[in-house]
Amino acid sequence: MFNLFKKKKEEVKTSQFLPLKVREVVRETADTVSLYFEQPEPYLDYKPGQFLTIVMEFDGKEQRRSYSLCTSPFVDPFPGISVKRVPGGLFSNFLAGKIFPGKTINVLRPLGNFTTEFHSKNKRHFFLVAGGSGITPMMGILKSALINEPESKVTLLYSSRNQDQIIFKKTLEELESKNPDRLKVIHNLSQPSAGWMGLKGRLVKETVLVLAAKAEDETDFEKVYFICGPEGIMDSAVSALESLNVSKDIVHRESFYSAAADKAHEAASKGKITGILTRDVKVILEGEEHLVTVSPDKTILESGLAMDLSMPYSCQSGLCTACRGKLLSGQVKMDEDAGLSEKEIAAGYILCCVSRPLTDDVKVNIE
């Protein structure tokens, strides 16, 4: 039976949001700032490597963007995110230029699977590959590894454009000198200024391959890989690890952009997705069942939002899992499923932001 007494959208929305007060704005490079927040009450509960989704209104329209936390809950007293200006990007330019201490920002609770559990008994080699602002989640991960796992060590292969573009340069140098045997930072600069003696040029598969092969040769450390950066760097790193037959289970990837989801979205908006019909989908949200009509040009999430349902979401690209639901019946087509683990897919979880109904009996429960 459908519940006719829909909760007011604003009420539900407000309960999803967490207001955070900006405590400090730190300029990291010419185009990147870190925003540190006062601890809310209770303290922000997050894992190293997770991200916050910022919710803001521009021209009366709500927009959401995800930014990785650059802090470690085990080390840093205040949580922070780093924001790199994207040329012409409304959101990043606003955050990086118009936010000052004292301002309050609405966020969604921390999310993301780009993390691991830490234990003092572990003896692991964290092998991190970062490009540009992809360093952000790595900072939380490497600080947490160094403090929580005395037997573990970290290699960070970090690609930036030039010396001035290295985000967290000073912090990394300090951490390296405090942990000379446990943290090794290898910079790769694509366009270094004169005098650079380190790795240079595009970060290619071969570079990752040589370094990761060394790590794989060490038998006394368990390995764990984290990759975050622009698509080219992610591809180089993934393909190097595949060549070394590294198990996918120990390779973590983080990205906020999916070419597959983008392509499907464009095709759908132009009416070019075939085999998808308009169908009614039952969406259970906070225990209430709603009937959502999903046309071929829309996903289940887009259709629900168009009906004013307060369905949770963040990236809208099938990567962050904020919109995750459990399929109770029927079948859907997912444009992208990179955010879900194989276990989650086997258990029937779907991502509503990239799901389109294939049958008439689709019923999904948003937990």
Q: Which residue lies nearer to ligand FES by CB, 229 or 318?
A: 318
* Cβ atoms 165, 188 nearer than 8 A: no
* Smallest distance, ligand FES to C-beta of residue 25, A: 27
Residue 68 pairs with which residues in a beta bridge?
51
* Cis before 42 (ω within 30): yes
User: Least separation, in Å, of the C-beta of 197 and ligand FES?
Assistant: 41
Among 202, 260, 215, 259, CA closest to 241: 215
Closer residue to ligand FES, CB minimum distance, 184 or 326: 326
Decide whether 192 or 339 has the Cβ nearer to ligand FES: 339
Helix (H) or strand (E) holding 282, with range, is strand 279-285
Residue 323 or 362: the one with the smaller Cβ distance to ligand FES is 323
- Least distance CB 16 / ligand FES (angstroms): 13
Classify burial at 5, counting beta carbons within 10 Å of its beta carbon; exposed 0-12, middle 13-18, buried 19 or more.
Answer: exposed
**Closest CB to ligand FES among residues 113, 165:** 113
Q: Closest separation between CB of residue 53 and ligand FES, Å?
A: 9
d(CA 22, CA 106): 11
CA distance 142 to 58: 35
Positions that interact with ligand FES (CB under 6 A)? 313-316, 318-323, 339, 351, 353
Tokens for 66, please give them.
Answer: 């995800």
Smallest distance from ligand FES to CB 56, Å: 16
Cα dihedral 144, 147, 152, 158 in deg (nearest 10): 50
Residue 28's H or E segment, with its range, is strand 17-29
Q: How far is the CB of 350 from ligand FES (least distance, A)?
A: 10
Whose CB is nearest to ligand FES?
353
From the CB of 337, what's the least distance to ligand FES, in Å? 9
* CB-count exposure of residue 161 (10 Å: 0-12, 13-18, 19+): middle
Instruction: Between 131 and 304, name the residue whose CB sits nearer to ligand FES.
Output: 304
Q: Which is nearer to ligand FES, 28 or 336 (CB)?
A: 336
